[in-house]
Amino acid sequence: MVISRLALGLLFAGLAACSGPKAPDVEWRNPGGNAEKTHHSALSDINTTNVTRLGLAWRAELGTKRGMEATPVMVDGTLYLSGMAGRVYAFDAVTGKQRWGFTPTIDGRAWRAACCDAVNRGVAIAGDRLFVAALDGKLYSLDRKTGAVQWTADTIIDRDRGYSSTGAPEVAGEVVLIGNGGAELDVRGYVSAYDLKTGALAWRFYTVPRDPALGPQDHPDLEKAAATWDPKSRWDIGGGGSVWDAIHYDALTGNVLIGVGNGGPWHVARRSPAGGDNLYLSSLVALDAKTGRVKWHYQETPGDSWDYTATQPMVFADMEWEGQKRPVVLHAPKNGFLYVLDRRDGKVLAAHSITYQNWANGVDLTTGRPNFTPENTDYSKGPRIVYPSSAGARNWHPASFDAKSGTYFASVDDLGMLFMMTPGAKPHRKRATNIDAVPMFTSDIVGMLPSLPPPLREAIEALPEMKRVREKPFDSQLKAIDARTGKTKWSVQLEGWQDRAGVLSTDGGLVFHGNLAGQLRAFDAATGKLLHEVELGRSILAAPMTYRLGGVQYVAVATGWGGGGWGFTPAYSAAAKYGNANELMVFKLDGTKPALPAPAPLPAVAAEPPAQAPGIDAARIARGRDLYFANCGFCHSNQHRSISPDLRRLTPEKHAVFNEVVLKGLLQPNGMPSFGDLLSPLEAEDLHAYLIDLQAATRATELELQRQGKPIDTPAPTIINAL
């Protein structure tokens, strides 16, 4: 058979067309993926027609067992991830081979100041520099290719107070910004900007004014704020307002938008007795990136008393609004609204209610102020059930936004909280919690009522919200929300109110979302239909991301349970079933099925505790109990499967070095800080006596359960039980 040159040419041309040029690489340059931080990707190689082929490409163990909240970043073929307390990992994004690692040396006191686990939410990159903030507030500039430290800046203004850093830095022109956590402790919030090349402080903006008795404010834009505070406010405690996340540079305006946290103490009557809006708490504030001067602000929750932080991630977009194309910021803070603001001037265009709330019944778009309902929510007048809870309708878990469809994808909670004011004014305690309310989630109220004193129980039972609590203690959903109207397009039920995670959406028509049970799931972005899930055996909180290298699209996610309430590991979670070893897991089409970890071992009967020291009596044990719940109970939940040590199960060796651990920081490198500046040796002895007594009671109960052939499961008393 004779084939002409023309036919051969057409044949080879056809073959070339079939193979086509290799698809270009697509990076993910910051935790939000792009300048708008939409957590949305234009990639569509993995899509609704083939996502069922998604499997594991590679996985990397990170050597830690705490909360993982960061979204990885991929630049120049390297995948960068921040981890516990500010560690950084660099991996070959195709093979998973580790290129370098960085572990900061931490001031051990920072562990005590971290209200919500030793987490970190990401790195920032500018050229060959990588920036990360360690838990103790040290900001590092690292060589992106080697991990070598280029410069370090101490961002903490007062190390006798409860500052920490858990957020991702943000590059804004010639500076890099970082905030801090600690509003529940004793801090005065601020955000700092440092020169990219040298680490020199460029400017600092405080979110809370200082005591007017000290003279003029230390920033000109705080004079206006000071007028919204009582001159007799609790300046000794600091006021709160920490910028622990949500810093977003807007190249269009040259502004940096920051989200500001709650006040301290929580209730405005305790914080600022005469009331007031208390600027700039629970606000979005636009700062000039070059000078730090305020360009505009919008306070989402004036006079906040419910921990309604505005530190949740923002999304930038361009939207048609009233016939005009406007640059907007989409923001869903804890308070239950999804706001649409013109990011040039802060004008409120919409405030959509995305869950049940009773602290306000809407927002006046003319004034921008919420329509408060104090009769429902002012717990200075007695117990009140407030919606949303302090955990928020939304929290730090990133949402995604598909600009083409105008859809905002996010996990949303319908959960309330019982608030009760604690009696009497509290003295300032350095580096210690200053929460002035007893909070209890509605998921726990019904079960807890029988254990409460009758007068308190009757007061709670009489609250009108109790009917709703009994009918629906909580609800948690992954929602697709029309950003223009606020209407829910579809929703997917989640297992528990803690079962929320970050979201990734793509032009492949997919929404990726992990869960605590240990599944990475892919949903149809248009309908919410579950298309595929991969069993990991690892709990997921962080948002997935995606990139393309060598013509292959990958999806990556960090795993690990933690964050707020990290000591209370949900029973339905993979962390409870398999343990909480942190991993980075990367997927591609036609990857393998991940091997599941071995189940975590069952607990043994608590060991026999040592005898009580001479002089220990019931009164000292009771004092030890109070010291425990004031200093230890937030982290040590004493539950089976908790990722924090169960102190009902101390070994003889740990009992022998109890004072060295608690007062001298023997285990500080492991994340157990010293309390020697808060507890006296006598108080430590009383604390130890309580734990010995608790261990003895636990052992007796578990021996009886063992004798009866029943599972060993004896939850320790909660903070509410101890009141």
Write down the domain spans for the chain: 618-707
Q: What confidence score (pLDDT) does residue 199 get?
A: 98
Strands (E), 335-456: 337-342, 348-353, 360-363, 370-372, 384-386, 400-402, 407-415, 417-421, 437-441
Task: List pLDDT tens digits, range 670-703.
Answer: 788 888 888 999 999 999 999 999 999 999 999 9
Instruction: Please state the separation of Cα 241 from the chain's center in Å.
Output: 16
Please report which helix (H) or strand (E) contains residue 476, including its range.
strand 474-482
Per-residue pLDDT band for 723 (boundaries 50, 70, 90) equals very low
Q: For the segment 150-206, what is each residue's pLDDT rounded down to a tens digit?
A: 999 999 999 999 999 999 999 999 999 999 999 989 999 999 999 999 999 999 999
Q: Taking 70 as the threshold, does the pLDDT of residue 8 lie above it? A: no
DSSP reduced 3-state for 359: coil
Question: Residue 150: what pLDDT?
Answer: 98
- Nearest of 558, 607, 682, 514 to residue 70 by alpha carbon: 558
**Alpha-carbon gap, residue 261 to 244, rounded angstroms:** 7
Average pLDDT over residues 374-387: 92
> In a 3-state reduction of DSSP, which class is residue 171?
strand
Whether residue 558 has pLDDT greater than 90:
yes
Helix axes 681-707, 618-631, angle to 10 degrees: 100
Give 601: exposed, middle or buried? Use CB within 10 Å, 0-12, 13-18, 19+.
Answer: exposed
| pLDDT at 717 exceeding the cut of 70 | no
Quick: pLDDT tens for 605-634.
999 999 999 999 999 999 999 899 888 887
Which token pair is 721?
């039980």
**Cα(27)–Cα(144) distance, rounded to whole angstroms?**
15
Cα gap 438→422, rounded to integer Å: 7
Instruction: Check whether 9 has a pLDDT greater than 60.
Output: no
Angstrom distance (rounded) from CA 455 to CA 346: 47
Compare 640 and 160 and report the one with higher pLDDT.
160
Q: How many of the other CB atoms lie within 10 Å of CB of 697? A: 16
Which whole number is the average pLDDT over 273-288? 98
| pTM, to two decimals | 0.93
Q: What is the mean pLDDT of the chain?
A: 93
Burial of 235 (0-12, 13-18, 19+ CB in 10 A): buried
pLDDT beyond 90 at 451: no
Residue 621: enclosing H or E segment and its boundaries? Answer: helix 618-631
**What confidence tier does 12 reach under pLDDT thresholds 50, 70, 90?**
very low
Cα separations in angstroms, 257 against 250, 308, 346, 500? 7, 18, 10, 25
Rounded mean pLDDT of 572-599? Answer: 96
Span 525-545, pLDDT tens digits = 999 999 999 999 999 999 999
- Give the SS3 label for residue 50: coil
Neighbours of 615 (CB within 10 A): 8
pLDDT for 107 beyond 50: yes
- Would you state the structure tokens that stand for residue 530, as one six-digit string? 């579950």
Name the H helices within 91-199: 109-113
User: How confident is residue 112, by pLDDT bands cut at 50, 70 and 90?
Assistant: confident
How far apart, in whole angstroms, are the C-alpha atoms of residue 577 and residue 598? Answer: 9
Structure tokens belonging to residue 252: 């269009």
Q: Look up 307 and say whether it is catalytic.
A: yes
Quickly state the pLDDT bin for 19 (edges 50, 70, 90).
Answer: low
Catalytic residue among 307, 414, 646, 693: 307
The residue among 312 and 715 whose pLDDT is bigger is 312
- Quick one: pLDDT band at residue 354, thresholds 50, 70, 90? very high
**Collapsed DSSP state (helix, strand, coil) of residue 644:** coil
Q: What architecture is the 618-707 domain classified under in CATH? A: Orthogonal Bundle (1.10)
What share of the chain has pLDDT > 90, as a percent?
Answer: 82
Nearest to 513 by CA among 361, 397, 670, 430: 397
DSSP state of 181: B
H or E element: which one contains 469? helix 466-471
Above 50 in pLDDT, residue 278? yes
Q: How confident is the model at residue 4 (pLDDT cuts 50, 70, 90)?
A: very low
* Antiparallel, parallel or unpaired: β 324-331 and 314-321: antiparallel
Three-state SS string over 594-619 comes to CCCCCCCCCCCCCCCCCCCCCCCCHH
> What's the pLDDT tens digit per position in 386-435?
999 999 999 999 999 999 999 999 999 999 999 998 887 777 777 777 77
Please report the pLDDT score of residue 714 as a whole number: 58
